[in-house]
Structure 1
């Protein structure tokens, strides 16, 4: 089963450009870059949690500090950071993503 992800070549080309931009801007070795990009995903996940708590008014000290639009933006940042990390560790990121999506869909939707 192959799904149409809506993530086309243009999206992956942009991800590649972002990866190249990061490569040019940071002074990390390739190994450090891989690790830092994986850690960036965790940082963004924390921002999702913070935004969700703010949208739900769950922190009495901070109050209603975020909206659900903020949560959506932070979720997009998690996805983008993950895509850049994937592109950092494999030159076939688009193919690898599609293969994994297909495997999860087949297992879950069959």
Structure 2
């Protein structure tokens, strides 16, 4: 990447390509495994929230809010990579969906 910071969708594509080259299981299972990976990442967010709030008295406070932020980013990125695994048009699919959700939720008010 030599000094170039990729945009979100460039990074998603690069990570998808890298994962494709390093898959241990056949291609038929790939989408399912990406979705399972998403569940794993969500569990890590929960673990970080429990850790930052000290809700496990045996362990005490084990995480920071920065850990929670990082885990949430992992969830978002994993979801986008899973979407890319299902369709090469992930960017367009996501953009259309975001527009629908925004229109429905904000009554057509522009984001930002």
> Normalising by the residue count of structure 2, what TM-score does the alignment of the two structures yield?
0.87
Match of 2:101 in 1: 104
Match of 2:55 in 1: 58
Residues 1:85 and 2:78 are matched in the alignment: no
Residues 1:15 and 2:12 are matched in the alignment: yes
1:46-78 per-residue CA deviation (whole Å, 9 max, x = no partner) reads 000000011001110111000110000000000
3-state secondary structure, aligned to 1:84: helix
Match of 2:110 in 1: none
3-state secondary structure, aligned to 1:27: coil
Of the three residues 33, 41, 45, the one matched with 1:44 is: 41
List runs of 5+ in structure 2 lacking aligned partners: 1-5, 108-112
Higher relative contact order (CA 8 A, sep 6+): 1
Structure 1 stretches of 4+ with a deviation exceeding 3 A read none
Q: In the TM superposition, what is the alpha-carbon distance from 1:10 to its structure 2 partner?
A: 2.6
List runs of 5+ in structure 1 lacking aligned partners: 1-8
Question: What RMSD, in angstroms, separates the aligned Cα atoms of the two structures?
Answer: 1.1
> Normalising by the residue count of structure 1, what TM-score does the alignment of the two structures yield?
0.89
